[in-house]
Structures are given as structure tokens and as C-alpha cells.
Amino acid sequence: MTRGKFITLEGGEGAGKTTLIRGLTHALADLGIVTLVTREPGGTPGAELLRDLLLNGDVERWSSRTEALLMYAARVDHVERCIKPALNRGAWVLCDRFADSTRAYQGVGGGLGAADLAELQHFALNDFHADLTLIVDLEPAIGLERTIKRGEKITRFEKFDAEYHERLRQAFLDIAEEEPERCVVLDGSQSTEAVLTAALAAVRTRLFSTA
Ligand code: TMP
């Protein structure tokens, strides 16, 4: 059995990751690829409990350091009990947010050092990482407007100010620049179809030759 591929989707709030995951799932199914769609924080019963603690409540509920530890507690459970078993069964895993979100939100947004977070990542996951990361880039104001229009519940993180979200956007772009072999940036201001086409092109060039 060939191991499946691990694809993560990253970006700011309302960038269109959920719609893109739906499109990718259908396109991969047409190619005969079985996918598992999941999200972070969450994806297992235990991690979903932690998600509830992390996303709800007062903005000041947790410090960035506590948040990072809770995110990684959820992530380890998710990787060990859901993601790795699925990859080993040959499924391709599409994950809405992963470790880059901690680097952006708790690291750059929350002021934690990149080296500390890299150490935490290594302790938690060893060298486990995504085979491909699609970063959906969008102006934060447009993303937040989309989230509000959809009537979605505003989480603790969406309550931060515009400057915070601008720093997050730049943080994701910096990660893409640091790790070009893993990351591809997609223009989230394009139509749903155009974003999906660009994502599929990245999947084809980055993953099919080694699938
Ligand atoms: P979402 O599923 O709607 O994207 O909500 C998840 C929220 O959690 C989002 O605001 C980003 C935040 N988050 C972090 O702050 N750090 C992380 O490591 C992850 C995975 C998410």
C-alpha cells in the first residue's frame, strides 16, 4: 500500500479554504484518490474538545504560550489517531490549518519566538510535516467580511484588530518564502474556480510525480 499524501491549507480568516477543500476532494475523487478531510484545531474527539476551549470565550482567556501548548496537545492527538493512520491506509489527507497556523497566530500574532515554536513542533511531531501546503492569500478585510456575511460565529481570533490580521497575512507569505519546496501561495481574491485550478496544478506538479 502506497502511503497517501498530506496536504494542508492555510491562510487568514475567510480566505476560502473550506470551499477549496471541497473542490479538491471532488477533483481527487475523479482521479480515483480516496481523501480524508479534517481540520485543526480538532479532527478527533479529544482535539475537538480542545478546539471548543481554544476558540470560544474571552479574547484574553489564554496567553499565546498556553494557546500554543493547547494547539499542540490537540495536534498530537490528531496526527497520531487520525492523520497518520489515514495516510498509512493510502488515503490523502486534506487538513484545514496545521502547524503554520501556530507559527502565524501564536508566533507572529502572539509574539512567541520562531525558535521556541520550532522546538515545540519537533518535540510534538518529530519531523512529521505536510507534503504540500496551499496558502490562500487574501486581504484580511475581505476575508473578515466574507466570514460575517456567511453568518459564522466570530471566534476569539477574529476579534483581534486589523493590524493583527495584516501581520498574520505577512507571516503566511514569509513561511511560503522560507519553505518554497513545501508551500504554494494561491490568490484568494480570484474566483472559486480559478483558485481550484491553481491548487490542482500545484498538486499535479508537486505530488503526482512522487505519488
Ligand atoms: P477556523 O477553523 O475557522 O479557521 O478557526 C480556527 C481558528 O483557530 C482560526 O482563527 C485560527 C486559529 N488557530 C490558531 O490560532 N493556531 C493554530 O495552530 C490553529 C490550527 C488555528
The CATH number linked to 186 is 3.40.50.300
In a domain, 168, yes or no: yes
Q: Give the type of residue at 207.
A: L
Write the residue with the smallest CA distance to atom 4 of ligand 1.
13
Q: Give the number of domains in the chain.
A: 1
From residue 87, alpha-carbon distances to 3, 151, 178 in Å are: 5, 34, 26
What residue numbers bound the domain in which 67 lies? 6-210
70-93 pLDDT, tens digit per residue, is: 999 999 999 999 999 999 999 999
Q: Give the type of residue at 4.
A: G
Per-residue pLDDT band at 167 (split at 50, 70, 90): very high
| Residue 39 Cβ < 6 Å to ligand 1 | yes
The model carries a pTM of 0.96
Write the residue with the smallest CA distance to atom 10 of ligand 1.
157
12-50 pLDDT, tens digit per residue, is: 988 899 999 999 999 999 999 999 999 999 999 999 999
Q: How far is the CA of 40 from the centre of ligand 1 (A)?
A: 7
List, in order, residues 6 or more apart from 195 with CB less than 8 Å away: 16, 19, 20, 136, 186, 187, 188
Order of strands across the sheet that contains 92-96: 35-39, 92-96, 6-11, 132-137, 183-187
